[in-house]
Amino acid sequence: MKVVIQRCKQAQVKVQDEIVGAIGPGLMLLVGITHDDTEKDAVYLADKISGLRIFEDDNEKMNLSVQDMAGSILSVSQFTLYGDCRKGKRPNFMAAAKPETAEVLYERFNELLRAKGLEVQTGQFGADMDVELTNWGPVTIILESPQP
């Protein structure tokens, strides 16, 4: 699994001009899933992201996690994270998991985050979505789960 994490002041996702998920301060996640990913990868990333200390404390040091600051998460599925652009000019998405497999693991990943007490809003899996956010910092980090 690969996740692009953006610390945000606010974020929302729309499907056909209707807001389907919105948060205030917290994390905007773009979540990509590949063929070999399992629940073990989802558990690893949910744990890592929920405790990732990228929010500033009173001393302006990145010492607080999204849990510490009672922030929310907007999680959006993003198969294009596995686009391979090394050959030609059009991305190859062969490394992205099939939708029926990816959706199950994506939903499980979100459940794992919720089980940590986090509010998790989502987009709509497989839909054409418009994503808006105010990146705070800006802070953007890419995490990948370890492969066995």
Has 16 been annotated as catalytic?
no
Has 78 been annotated as catalytic?
yes
Length of the chain (residues): 148
Residues 6+ apart with CB under 8 A from 124: 13, 15, 20
Choosing from 6, 79, 109, 122, the catalytic residue is 79
Choosing from 6, 12, 34, 78, the catalytic residue is 78
Q: What burial class does residue 27 get, using C-beta atoms within 10 Å of its C-beta: 0-12 exposed, 13-18 middle, 19+ buried?
A: buried
Q: What is the DSSP letter of 45?
A: H
Q: What burial class does residue 29 get, using C-beta atoms within 10 Å of its C-beta: 0-12 exposed, 13-18 middle, 19+ buried?
A: buried
Residue 55 CA to chain centroid, in angstroms?
A: 17
Has 79 been annotated as catalytic?
yes
First vs last C-alpha separation in the chain? 12
Choosing from 16, 80, 134, 147, the catalytic residue is 80
Active site (catalytic) residues: 78-80
